[in-house]
Structure 1
Amino acid sequence: PPFSVFWGKMVLISSLIKSDYVVLGVIIMINSAIAIYYYLKLIVFMFLKEPIVKDKNLYTANISMALKVIVGIAVAGTAFSFLFSGAILEFIEHFVFASGF
């Protein structure tokens, strides 16, 4: 559970249960349990199974420069998002208060 999605789901589910939306909280928990199967399946194929094709050029030859740039921006944004978490939360907080929640 060290990932931010885990903590976000925990806070969301506990808020739903405190607000008497238990059914919605249970639906989210069931959905998360199903998703764990797919996440673990991906990890098994990435790290525990032997690759079918051992040619390293197969994976890098078909990657365009645009895709490399997009993935690089996404990785950098994810890696450094903790530096701007306060500003991001303040930005989101404005919309939460405006919505009446």
Structure 2
Amino acid sequence: MRRDRIGGRDRVAYQRLRCASDSFQLAALLIEQTRVLLDIPAGDDTALTALALLITSGAAELIVVWLDGGLPVERPVLIRIVADHVVEMVGRLPGMTSS
């Protein structure tokens, strides 16, 4: 179905599906780069996959909320919040990969 013919709820569903696809592609890139950087063997990446999806989808949702005015912080503060949390989560990966 062409995008310009989608209306109402179908348009929202289409946009969510497209965003999910984009998030998964970004997560796949994050997974591969992190696997190489932290020397995590293929097949031992369940925690990494979950974390990559959490980071990409969660960050996207957070930014949408911020853009809509739901999080009243300045841009540098938002960047620091996201960066600090991502670094903390990635720092826990080596202990989680064998789970």
| TM-score, structure 2 normalization | 0.30
TM-score after normalising by structure 1: 0.30
Answer with 1 or 2: which has the greater Rg.
Answer: 1
Which structure is higher in RCO with an 8 Å CA cutoff and minimum separation 6? 2
